[in-house]
Structure 1
Amino acid sequence: MLQSFIVIDELKEKRSATSSELTSSGGWQVAEGPPFLPEETLKDLGFRVYAGTSMREISFNMPKIDAVLLVVSPDQVAPWRTRLHTLRSLPLFWWCDSQTFPSNECKIDHGIDGLLGPSMSALEIHCALLLGVNHYFQRTEWHQEREQLLSKLEERKWVDQAKRILCEIKKISEAEAYDFLRKQAMNERKRLVDVATSIVKVYQLLQDQNQGGRKR
């Protein structure tokens, strides 16, 4: 359940300046009263809101928050996402208005979990947050599964290399090589992949030494 946000608003000063120009120009006015501000919108909905644009401010507030709202131009979404991920993984929302999304040509970053905007009602914002949090957990789960799969493939590569080396040196079958690795891992109380990695690295080191000796 989301209770607190940090709002990273790079366009706050620009928005305020634009609003002042429109309301004092004698021409048209967007709306009566103050402009829609992301921080105020979230506060009105009962969320605790922290603000920051420097990594020092953000790092200080990170333990207190449940989600991030970016109020930045489209080309700044990915850099901010990368910087924030080094601190903590959190649901990431993007504030979409005429300043952050000036045209229909820009692409939305794949790491964004949801969009919020000034024209949304309270119900629409709550629904967007709910869907966004669900998307975040699904995305995180998929990322973890992907990392696990890549790790298993990497482990399989080391084991296969070790088996080929053992087959070559000991003149045994692949099944016998695998049994050797498994027994060695049990005897040394290590993971199978750790034993396999050691064999491959020692073998490669000996190969390099032999090649260096022949060159001399």
Structure 2
Amino acid sequence: MRSLLVIHSHADPASEQADIIPSWQIEPEHLLESNGYLPLPCRDESEFKQLIHNADAAVLNIPVGTISMWSNRLEQTRAIPLLWWCSAISAQSSTEACEADATVDGILLPTMVAHELNWALHFSAKRFFERQHWQSERKQLTARLEERKWIDMAKGILGEVNGIPEAAAYDLLRKKAMNERKRIVDVAIAIVKAHQMLKA
């Protein structure tokens, strides 16, 4: 992980109080650059769409409440590890702000030294790949449950129409799928939809 897209929010209170806190504590670019990483600063939508394809991860320098919006936006464009920049101002947020439904793989702090930053990025990448794997498994499981629902409905229809038990209805469904060289779920969907149209 070398190139990091740094997303800044216009609404970040840290940017409004730059005269109170030294700039090196506000901007993540300083920490990243001084430790050999290539920060890619981004302040608007057009920059984000151009830079995301060159980034290995994204650092969100934004209020906690907007993390969810940005994580969804990033996920739709390109899935990469997401880290939240906990600035001195953000760290003073109430604990209620932390209850936001926000997906991040790690947190970076302005006070981190080189080895802490490296470990944070390493574990964030690991967490990201675990999250991606879990999401993929969840999608597959959801798809299988949906397919099972259609197949069960089709078995019920075939059993009722032909006056046969469920096991025989499943065999009939499977044979029809093999004869038509289609997936069993596609045949099941067609049967259920045809039956619904006839009953309408």
Q: TM-score, normalised by structure 1?
A: 0.85
- 1:72-111 aligned at under 5 Å gives the runs 72-105=62-95, 106-107=97-98, 109-111=101-103
Residue ranges of structure 2 left out of the alignment (5+ in a row): none
Amino-acid identity (%): 39
Deviations 1:20-60 (A, max 9, x none): 3x4xxxxxxx66xx533201211111112211122221111
Structure 1 residues 120 and 186, CA, compared in 2 at 3 Å: closer, same or farther? same
Give yes or no for the alignment of 1:113 onto 2:105: yes
* Equivalent-residue separation in structure 2 for 1:172 and 1:12 (angstroms): 65
CA-atom RMSD in angstroms: 1.9
Aligned residues: 197
Displacement after TM superposition at 1:61 (Å): 1.2
Residue aligned with 1:115, SS: strand
**Paired amino acid for 1:66:** D
Displacement after TM superposition at 1:100 (Å): 2.2
- Residue among 171, 183, 201 paired with 2:163: 171
Displacement after TM superposition at 1:94 (Å): 0.2
- Quick check: 1:5–1:68 contact (8 Å CA) kept in 2? yes
Residue ranges of structure 1 left out of the alignment (5+ in a row): 23-29, 209-216
- Quick check: 1:73–1:101 contact (8 Å CA) kept in 2? no
Structure 1 residues 170 and 178, CA, compared in 2 at 3 Å: closer, same or farther? same
When Rg is computed on C-alpha atoms for both structures, the one with the higher figure is 1
Displacement after TM superposition at 1:175 (Å): 1.0
Residue aligned with 2:92, SS: coil
- Residue among 46, 55, 74 paired with 1:65: 55
- Quick check: 2:24–2:31 contact (8 Å CA) kept in 1? no
Question: Which deviates more, 162-171 or 103-112?
Answer: 103-112
**Paired amino acid for 1:49:** P
* Equivalent-residue separation in structure 2 for 1:140 and 1:89 (angstroms): 8
Q: TM-score, normalised by structure 2?
A: 0.91
